[in-house]
Each structure stands twice: as structure tokens, then as C-alpha cells.
Amino acid sequence: MPDITQSPLPTPTIPSHFIRRTGDEPPVQDAPIRAKRRPQYGQIVTGFVAIALLVLFIQSQAQNPNMEWSVTWEYMFNPVVLQGVGVTIQLAIFAMLISIVLAFGIALMIQSTNKVVSVIGRAYVWFFRGVPMLVQVLLWFNLAVLFPVILGQDTNTLISGFTAGLIALSLAESGYMAEIIRGGIISVPTGQTDAGVSLGLTRSQALARIVLPQSIRVIIPPTGNQFIGMLKATSLVSVIGGSDLLTRVQLIYGQNFKILPLLIVGVLWYLILVTIAGTGQHFLERRLNASQPGSRRSAKTTGTATTTNIRTIIGGALWRK
Amino acid sequence: MAQVAPAGTSTDTMLRIDGVHKWLGHNHVLRGVDIEVRTGEIVCILGPSGSGKSTLLRCINHLDPVDGGVIEVNGERVGYQLHDGQLYEQSERRVAKARQHIGMVFQHFNLFGHMTALDNVTYGPVRILGRPRKEAVASARQLLAKVGLADKDDSYPSQLSGGQQQRVAIARALAMEPRLMMFDEPTSALDPELVGEVLQTMRQVAEEGMTMIVVTHEVGFAREVADRVVFMDQGRVLEDGPARKVLDDPQHERTASFLRRVH
């Protein structure tokens, strides 16, 4: 120990609670005194209670004769059910893709300096976001009442339950997506447009080439949420016989009256789909954060290759460089 | 009917601002501004905030429209054409073309966040002027070296300090080979220790004979580099003369009190 009294510097006054007393010394000399967090007793207790309740619930339901788990397992991988799962996935993906394309157009319309075009865009969002999805599904399915013949074809053969559902889901979703995309566009500082325009771009070129590519990173996370919502919203199509998962499950229990076991089949499949989509979203967002130009991970650890990759995949696919 | 007078009054006038008025809502921001800048001249515009300096710069390249008066760069009106004694706003496309020759450097740099420093500098020449990419990259590297950032061409703006970003922004503007460079408070958003490197870069640009208009609060820079200093207050030009004269012997009390406070 250095002798403090020999020190040329005046001894600083140390608050008394800061002075190490004998017995406080850590095992290794001059090592910092370790500090431990207070134990989380509450968390331990709730953990035990929650596990106990869950076990009780599962046990009671596993032994509940009305649940008929054997029926659930029997139909879980039934080809009819699996086809339904396929239709649900298709509906969700196609409706999402169509709605994103529509929404880009609508968002640009709303942001337009042309006030008429802007009002039309707003009216579109107002209607398709305002009318419940279920009502929209029914409206499109009953289109034949308004227009019995479309393009020289019988409307009812042209618009099946699947197409009516696809159109309704796409349009309803495009109202929400338009607002998400508009939010992304607004999130890019106006200075970016100023800079682009100062170089000699027109305002619309600056929007397409400078602002939109930078808005993508704001648009993607909520779009993931919307897709998960869409996976579930496809079940609305069951009211018009859209041949999706729920339609088929209902079809089966309509015949064998095993209502609950078959609804559980539906529950399990929806949870599986949502879990897969949620995991995908998680990784996409992580990748997006990692590739953020300037984030510490991007340049130094993951390398600029990833950065450029994501940028070209997302940006390049939509806007030619 | 009186025909339009030939645009440029003399061949060496780079910028002519004549009786420019501008309202922002009910606020009369520019109240008849007249400024003339000759080719190769370096003019610093000083003035308290809200005096209309930045708005004036934005009007020069038609980022903001004027409500009256004429602005000509190199003898060409920016954003308007004259018909029967009235100015009519031109199409986006023509305005965009006119802006190509006017470089602008912003207070908040405004580098394109999704592009590397090199891409920021080559973007204009390649996408707007249609230069071959190889050529543009070569001259962009030269420009980045000139502003002292030869090793930063692969960096994204968010990986650069404010001073570095502003120097890339200057290189981006220079890459368009502008006739006139405008700086809108280029050092106001910077940490004090980074101001010097940006001013040094601007000094370098000035030495190469570029015509420059600099809105700034850096009186030292104005004294050292500017040929002329314009002092603006409440939308008017209060003083316009040789840098040393305006800074050391201001004619208006308003200018004098401003300079005392800024020093």
C-alpha cells in the first residue's frame, strides 16, 4: 500500500461511506468490490405458481373425455385439412403482396401535391380501412347481385369464394398498408428531398430514388405484424366457403359433429403458422438492424457486404439503381 | 409591348438578385432584396436568425418559390420565365435542369443515408449528368481526397462525424461542377472542434476561384476569406460592401451591435 501521507497531492476528502473498512476487502487486493442485484423472490414465486396452474390445466384437459384428443390427432394431418392450410397460406401471401402494391400507389397518391389525387387516396383509405373485413368479404362474394355478368362471363363462376376472399382481404389490407407506407415516407427527413432536388432531380425522382429506399426500413417491421394479422384474417373467408383451413375444419365437423376436437385442429395450425411467421419477422428485423448503415454491428462485424446485400435486395428489387 | 431585356447585365455577373420578395404565410420574410455577385467572388451573408438569409439561399435555387422579383444565375432565371411583364413558374423538369449548376451545402449535411460517401458523390454525375460510372468514380475519389476523406469512400454517413459528413456534402456538390456554390450555415450544426476542418475545406474551394455565397455566423471566416460581406436584418439588406469595411466599420448601429454580440 502506498503511503498516503507521503503523497505530494493534498488528500482528497472521501465521504465516510466510501472508505473501505477492514473486513470489506475483496479476496484479491485492489479488485473492485462486487455488487449483487437484490434477489427476485416475486419472480420465483410467480414462476412456480404459473407452472403449477399450467400443469393442472393440461392434466385436466388431457383427461377430459369431451376433448377427444384422439380425434384431434386423427385429423391434424388429414389431407383435407392440409389442403386448407395450403389455401390459407396462399390467401395470406397473395393478399399481402397485392395489398402492398396497391398501398404504394395509394400512399404516393395521398402524398401527391395534386390535391384531387390526394383526396381520392384519402377516401380510398377511409373506405377500405373503415368497413369491417368480414363485411367486405360478403360484399365481394355477392357482387353478382350488382353485376350479374362481368367481361362476358357469369360473375358467380368468375368470382369463387377464394377470389372474392382474396380481393376483399387485399383491398381491406391495402388501406392499412397505405398508411404504414405513408408513415415510412414521412419518416425520412425533408432535407433528403432538398438535397436530391438541389443536385438536379425533380421532386418525384427524389421521392422514388432517395426517399422511398430509405423509408423501407421503417415500413418492414409493421408489415410483418400486418402479415401475422392477415394469416388470421383469412379465416373470415370461411363465411363464403373460401376452402381455407377454417372452412374445411367446419366442413368436417359438420359431418361428424366432433366440433371441439376439430376446432383445436384449427387452433393448432393457426398457432403453427403464426409462430413461423413471427420467427421469420424476428430474424428479418434483426438482419435489418444489423445492416443499418452506421450501426456498430454493420460496418465492423458483419461487414459492408451484408449492408449492400439487404440494400440491393430490398431497394434494388423495387427501384432500379 | 416591351420585350424582355437581355438577361445578364454584364458577362461577369454570376448572380443577380433584384427586388426579391417572399412571404411565408403572413410573414414577410424577404422585403425587396437586391444583391449582385460577380464571377469568382466570395460573399458572406451575416445576420441574426430570422433575417431571411437561409430563405434567400433556398429561393436562389428555387427550393422555395419567390413571390416577386428576379433571380438570375449566370444570366438565366431560375424557376421562372418572363411573359408580358409577369414571371411564370417553369416545369419541374426545367427547374431541375437549372439547379444542376448551383451547388448547395446544407446546415444538416443531408447526405443520402442509404449510400456510401462515394455513392453520394457519384450519384449526381452518373444519374443526373449521365457521366460514365468509371469516370465519375475516379473524379469522386479525387474530390474525396481533396476534402481529406480519401479513406472514407466506403463509409455510410452515419459512420462519419458531422465534420466529415459536411466535407462529403461539399464534395457531392462540387462533383456537379457548379458555377455557383451556396453554403447554408455549414458549420452551425457541428461540434466546435469540428468547425475548423469544414472551414478549411471551404477555404480551399474559395482558393480555386469558385463563386461562393456563404450564410454563416463565422465572422472570422468572413473576414479572412470573403471579398464582400452582406448584412441582412428583417428581410432587408442593411449593409453590402468589402468584408473588412463592413466588419470593422459598419455603417448601421444594427450591424455594429450584431457584430459585437457574435464576437
pLDDT in tens, A21-55: 566 555 566 678 888 888 889 999 999 999 999 99
Among B residues 139-158, those touching chain A with beta carbons less than 8 Å apart: 154-158
DSSP letters, chain B, are -PPPPPS-SSTTEEEEEEEEEEEETTEEEEEEEEEEEETT-EEEEE--TTSSHHHHHHHHTTSS--SEEEEEETTEESSEEEETTEEEEPPHHHHHHHHTTEEEE-TT----TTS-HHHHHHHIIIIIS---HHHHHHHHHHHHHHTT-GGGTT--GGGS-HHHHHHHHHHHHHTT--SEEEEESTTTTS-HHHHHHHHHHHHHHHHTT-EEEEE-S-HHHHHHH-SEEEEEETTEEEEEEEHHHHHHS-SSHHHHHHHHHH-
Query: Does B108 contact A at CB distance below 8 Å?
Result: yes
Q: Do B172 and A199 touch (CB under 8 A)?
A: yes
Distance of CA A253 to the CA centre of its chain: 32
C-alpha cell at B38: 460577380
Q: Do B110 and A304 touch (CB under 8 A)?
A: no
Query: Does B30 contact A at CB distance below 8 Å?
Result: no
Q: Rounded to two decimals, what is the model's pTM?
A: 0.80
Digit-by-digit pLDDT tens for chain B (263 residues) are 344 444 444 458 999 999 999 999 999 999 999 999 999 999 999 999 889 999 999 999 999 999 999 999 998 898 898 888 888 999 889 999 999 999 999 999 999 999 999 999 999 999 999 999 999 999 999 999 999 999 999 999 999 999 999 999 999 999 999 999 999 999 999 999 999 999 999 999 999 999 999 999 999 999 999 999 999 999 999 999 999 999 999 999 999 999 998 86
Q: Do A195 and B159 touch (CB under 8 A)?
A: no
Please state, as a whole number, how many other Cβ atoms lie within 10 Å of the Cβ of residue A163: 14
Q: How many residues are recorded in chain B?
A: 263
Query: Does A122 contact B at CB distance below 8 Å?
Result: no
What's the confidence (pLDDT) of residue A142?
87
C-alpha cell at B194: 469540428
Q: Do B113 and A192 touch (CB under 8 A)?
A: yes
CA-to-CA dists, residue B189 to A91, A235, B108, B216, angstroms: 50, 53, 6, 11
What's the confidence (pLDDT) of residue B2?
40
Query: Does B134 contact A at CB distance below 8 Å?
Result: no
> B204: exposed, middle or buried (C-beta count within 10 Å: 0-12, 13-18, 19+)?
middle
What is the spatial distance between Cα A163 and Cα B135, in angstroms, rounded to a whole number? 53
Q: Which residues contact A105 (CB under 8 A, 6 or more apart)?
A: none
Query: Does A197 contact B at CB distance below 8 Å?
Result: yes
What's the confidence (pLDDT) of residue A149?
73
Q: For the segment A237-251, what is each residue's pLDDT rounded down to a tens digit?
A: 999 988 899 999 999
Give chain B positions within 8 Å (CB) of A196: 112
Query: At residue B102, what are phi and psi to the nearest 5 degrees?
Result: -120, 115
What's the confidence (pLDDT) of residue A293?
55
Which of A114, A197, A199 is best to mutate for the B interface (most B CBs within 10 A)? A199
What's the confidence (pLDDT) of residue B1?
38
Q: Do B155 and A192 touch (CB under 8 A)?
A: no
Kindly provide the ipTM of the predicted complex, given to two decimals. Answer: 0.91
Query: At residue B241, what are phi and psi to the nearest 5 degrees?
Result: -170, -175
Q: For the segment A173-200, what is each residue's pLDDT rounded down to a tens digit?
A: 999 999 999 999 999 999 999 999 999 9
Q: How many Cα atoms occupy the beta-carbon half-sphere of B198 within 13 Å?
A: 31
What's the confidence (pLDDT) of residue B50?
87
Cα first-last separation, chain A: 67
What is the spatial distance between Cα B47 and Cα B217, in angstroms, rounded to a whole number? 8
What's the confidence (pLDDT) of residue B236?
94
Query: Does A198 contact B at CB distance below 8 Å?
Result: yes
Residue of chain A whose Cα is closest to the Cα of B158: A294
CA-to-CA dists, residue B239 to A40, A149, B13, B247, angstroms: 70, 77, 20, 10
The minimum CA-CA distance between B252 and chain A, rounded to whole Å, is 35
The minimum CA-CA distance between A304 and chain B, rounded to whole Å, is 8
Q: For the segment A101-137, what is each residue's pLDDT rounded down to a tens digit?
A: 999 999 999 999 899 999 999 999 999 999 999 999 9
What's the confidence (pLDDT) of residue A312?
43
What's the confidence (pLDDT) of residue A75?
92
What's the confidence (pLDDT) of residue A301?
36
Query: Does A272 contact B at CB distance below 8 Å?
Result: no
Among A residues 200-229, those touching chain B with beta carbons less than 8 Å apart: 200-205, 209-210, 213-214
Q: Do B63 and A197 touch (CB under 8 A)?
A: yes
Distance of CA B35 to the CA centre of its chain: 14
What's the confidence (pLDDT) of residue A298?
41
Residue of chain A whose Cα is closest to the Cα of B176: A199
Q: Do B155 and A299 touch (CB under 8 A)?
A: yes
Q: For the segment A205-221, what is each residue's pLDDT rounded down to a tens digit?
A: 999 999 999 999 899 99
Q: Which residue has the higher pLDDT, B34 or A311?
A: B34
Torsion of CA B216, B222, B224, B229, to 10 degrees: 160
Residue of chain A whose Cα is closest to the Cα of B173: A199
Query: Does B105 contact A at CB distance below 8 Å?
Result: no
Among B residues 152-191, those touching chain A with beta carbons less than 8 Å apart: 154-159, 169, 172-173, 176
C-alpha cell at A79: 389431407
The minimum CA-CA distance between A73 and chain B, rounded to whole Å, is 50
What is the spatial distance between Cα A40 and Cα A52, in angstroms, rounded to a whole number? 19
Sign for the CA dihedral angle at B168, B173, B179, B180 comes to negative
Q: Do A201 and B96 touch (CB under 8 A)?
A: yes
What is the spatial distance between Cα B107 and Cα A106, in angstroms, rounded to a whole number? 33
Q: Are B10 and B183 in contact (CB under 8 A)?
A: no
CA-to-CA dists, residue A152 to A142, A147, A158, B4, B134, angstroms: 18, 11, 10, 61, 56
Mean pLDDT of chain A: 84
Give chain A positions within 8 Å (CB) of B114: 213-214, 293, 311, 315
Give chain B positions within 8 Å (CB) of A210: 112
> B231: exposed, middle or buried (C-beta count within 10 Å: 0-12, 13-18, 19+)?
buried
Mean pLDDT across A158-170: 89
What's the confidence (pLDDT) of residue A314?
45
Percent of chain A's residues with pLDDT above 70: 80
Q: Do A299 and B159 touch (CB under 8 A)?
A: yes
